[in-house]
Amino acid sequence: MTVGYLRPTRILVDQNAIYENIQNELKELEGTETVIFPVLKANAYGHGLLPVAQAAQAAGAAGFCVAILDEALALRRANFTVPILVLGITQPSEIELVIANQISVTVGSLEWLQAAYQIVQRMAYPQPIHIHLSVDSGMGRIGFRDATELLAAYTFIKTHAKYFDLEGIFTHFATADDPDDTYFQEQRARFNAMLAVLPERPRFVHVSNSATSLWHAACNGNLIRMGISMYGLNPSGNTISKLPYPLKPALSLESELVFVKKVQAGSKIGYGASYEAVTDEWIGTIPIGYADGWSRRMQGSTVLVNGQRCEIVGRICMDQLMIRLPQQYPVGTKVVLVGRSGDEEITLQEVAEYADTIHYEIICGLSDRLPRIYTGLDQH
């Protein structure tokens, strides 16, 4: 997608915020051997893969997690040499790329290992495949659900140690951000029971996503997959407000007024003529729309102009939206969609609540047409 550098709409990412969030988590881990692997999937949750990786590595990250092999390869092409774990399932047919780039992969079945073995034994590479076994303790997504099958996979790996390196084992909690920890404890017990069948533990045993590390630190294992909290966002939204350290949001979204006009009472605004001016009103146009990830669901929400909340009126268009202004403002006046203006602030959580979703979806939905501008890391 073409990036819109020549229009005044942009995402601002504070790399220093990412740095500080990781540093604060590392302070919580002092005295332990636990390391942090920041999660950089989905273009680093919409913040930008490579600049976030740069900030995370400067802050002390020991490795990275991604969702798909392509993301891992993008990091390798950018000369990041730390360990990288692909959390999703990588096809056995891609084993040559995995080995050549020293990528760690997730395995959730004996069948995957058997298929990979048929490929790797015919290859000339001496390096083994780095494996993290996934245990489905109750998420219902990927992973081993039966202790017998898990042990069979472990045995297969050890039998073919020339080709496989059992680097880690992990699970993912479904309700770590819920004040009711009943199901969390059930998952924890299932994972521990599965882990107990292995004759020896691999180097990494990890269960902690952001929510687990914040509110269930006692079961961190020795690797934390630091996701949404690294970007300064509370994993629970507003469900659990108490945090061991403050989270500093890294992302803001800004634009400008590109057209301002006065309309008379009764004037219609937008597709479907869904808004009608009650009185004479000043209407401003902003160059951002649903093609940029600012959903039509945001009609009726507010943006900030000169520290004042201004309502989005009419349906949000593909590339533009309109707002009702309290007075005439000149073209070029700054508009804040996420962030602070004067004494007012619009948070990603507020946006998510208005759109009846979670802030994860909002930031991941911000399209690549929006340029990302980075600040803050030079001081480190």
CATH number for the domain including 298? 2.40.37.10
Of 19, 27, 41, 360, which one is the catalytic site residue? 41
Residue 8 lies in a domain: no
Query: pLDDT above 90 covers what percent of the chain?
Result: 95
Residue 360 lies in a domain: no
Residue 7 lies in a domain: no
Range(s) of the domain holding residue 266? 251-346
- Report the C-alpha gap between 187 and 183 in whole angstroms: 6
- Quick one: pLDDT at residue 374? 97
- Report the C-alpha gap between 313 and 284 in whole angstroms: 10
Confidence grade of residue 177 (pLDDT, cut at 50, 70, 90): very high
**Four-residue CA torsion sign, 157, 160, 164, 166:** positive
Q: Where are the beta strands (DSSP E) in 179-228?
A: 204-206, 223-224
CA angle 309, 12, 248 (to 5 degrees): 80
Q: Are residues 23 and 163 in the same domain?
A: yes
Work out how many domains the chain is built from and give that number: 2
194 is in an annotated binding site: no
Confidence grade of residue 219 (pLDDT, cut at 50, 70, 90): confident
Average pLDDT (243-264) is 97
Confidence grade of residue 218 (pLDDT, cut at 50, 70, 90): confident
Q: If you ran DSSP here, which 8-state letter would residue 291 be given?
A: G
- Report the C-alpha gap between 129 and 297 in whole angstroms: 45
Q: Which amino acid is at 59?
A: A
CATH number for the domain including 76? 3.20.20.10
Q: Are residues 215 and 275 in the same domain?
A: no
Q: Tell me whether residue 41 is one of the annotated catalytic residues.
A: yes
Q: Tell me whether residue 163 is one of the annotated catalytic residues.
A: no
Residue 358 lies in a domain: no
- Quick one: pLDDT at residue 123? 85
Confidence grade of residue 143 (pLDDT, cut at 50, 70, 90): very high
Average pLDDT (32-40) is 97
Average pLDDT (165-182) is 97
Q: Are residues 150 and 29 in the same domain?
A: yes
Residue 36 lies in a domain: yes
Of the three residues 231, 260, 284, the one that is the final residue of a domain is 231
141 is in an annotated binding site: yes
Residues 325-378 pLDDT 10s: 999 999 999 999 999 999 999 999 999 999 999 999 999 999 999 999 999 877
Q: Are residues 85 and 185 in the same domain?
A: yes
Q: Are residues 283 and 175 in the same domain?
A: no
Residue 154 lies in a domain: yes
Residue pointed to by tokens 């680093």: 44
Higher pLDDT, 376 or 29: 29
Residue 76 lies in a domain: yes
Average pLDDT (302-323) is 98
Is pLDDT above 70 for 18? yes
Q: Are residues 71 and 122 in the same domain?
A: yes
Residue 105 lies in a domain: yes
- Quick one: pLDDT at residue 379? 63
- Quick one: pLDDT at residue 124? 79
Taking the model in full, what pTM does it have? Answer: 0.95
Average pLDDT (67-91) is 98
- Quick one: pLDDT at residue 377? 79
Q: Are residues 37 and 66 in the same domain?
A: yes
Residue pointed to by tokens 């509110």: 215
Asked whether the beta carbons of 363 and 41 are under 8 A apart, the reply is no
Is pLDDT above 80 for 125? no
Residue pointed to by tokens 């390391």: 35
Question: Do you know the residue count of the chain?
Answer: 380
Q: Are residues 257 and 221 in the same domain?
A: no
Q: If you ran DSSP here, which 8-state letter would residue 218 be given?
A: G
- Quote the mean pLDDT of the chain: 96
Q: Are residues 96 and 186 in the same domain?
A: yes
Is pLDDT above 70 for 114? yes
Confidence grade of residue 167 (pLDDT, cut at 50, 70, 90): very high
Q: Are residues 32 and 122 in the same domain?
A: yes
Average pLDDT (238-245) is 93
Average pLDDT (156-170) is 96
Of 125, 162, 268, 271, which one is the catalytic site residue? 271
